[in-house]
Amino acid sequence: MALDERRLAMLRDMGVPFWRPLQPRSPAPPANAGATDHTPADTPGPPGSDQAASARETIASAKPLAGAARVASPPPLPERRLEPAAPREVSRMAQPAAVPPPPAPDAAAPRQGEAHPAVGAAPAVIATLDWPALRATVAACRACGLCESRRQTVFGAGHPRAHWMIVGEAPGEQEDLRGEPFVGPAGQLLDNMLRALGLTRAEAAPADQPPLEPAQQAYIANTLKCRPPRNRNPEPEEMRRCEPYLQRQIALVQPRLILAMGRFAVQALLRTDEAIGRLRGRVHRYEGVPLIVTYHPAYLLRNLPDKAKAWEDLCLAAQTMEALPPR
């Protein structure tokens, strides 16, 4: 579509580039070529002729491509320096797990088979201790959390080679204060039960009496050597930590018969969760040693009718001892 001068002027005023092909200019006729044009050069033409002619000359002599480039081309961007790209964050799940360095050797750490004074002796070490060393090791034991609340450990009492061995559960408040098993009302009841069997926990007879025979004596120990706070039930881990001490005491005493009193004593020695009511009335074995199950004296103080059952258990223990061959 042809553009007239008015439209071209509007486009030019709006700054819109435009382009159209140039028309070839016809050669100017010679001065004397014809007589039809008699208008002198300086004679003014019709109104607007000078403006139209000037527009035609401007359009014809313009360089549209260059003009269009100036309008359409964006200004040059400032020079930018490329920065090195930051490393992408790798997912923690994809990273290999960091392997901690091996711990530095501790100069104070015990050698293999040696007791650690701040923790507790290894079971293999406990199995080799004599009475004085075993007592000292128990007194310094910190193998479980009970060491934080105890006043003192409760090791054991009685003749170290007695024929009878009484195994209880855990120390109570009075035992924790005195460092001796079975004291207070429960201890008095146990002494009466032993007296009915002709036994005593004393290591030696009074000076005015004849010496005691091992068959008349009993050694008393607990499954735990420390009192649980507020006399709560022992935890399985606490029993496991303390078990080597009881095993060594039994090995040193070498009793002919064991009387297990209470549920936790039975569990530690017989490895069973059965109730005492189902286990009593028959002879069990602990590493070949006859074992009789009965109630704990503290339980009997709360359940008086069961004292008759406990007496039956004592009678069974006495019969079992009498049936054993002489040592």
CB neighbours of 239 closer than 8 A, spacing ≥ 6? 223, 224, 264, 267, 268
Averages of pLDDT over runs of 10 residues in the chain (327 residues) are 63 62 56 46 48 50 45 50 47 43 40 46 93 96 93 95 96 94 94 94 87 92 95 94 96 98 96 95 97 97 96 97 91
Q: How far apart are CA 290 and CA 292, in angstroms?
A: 7
Which pLDDT does position 92 carry in this prediction?
A: 40
Assessment of whether the complete model's pTM goes beyond 0.75: no
- What confidence score (pLDDT) does residue 37 get? 47
Q: What is the domain partition of the chain in residue ranges?
A: 154-323
The amino acid sitting at 221 is A
Q: Provide the pairing of β-strand 218-222 with 283-286.
A: unpaired
Residue 139: alpha-carbon gap to chain centroid: 30
Please give the structure tokens belonging to residue 94: 């994809």
Task: For domain 154-323, give the fold.
Answer: Uracil-DNA Glycosylase, subunit E (3.40.470)
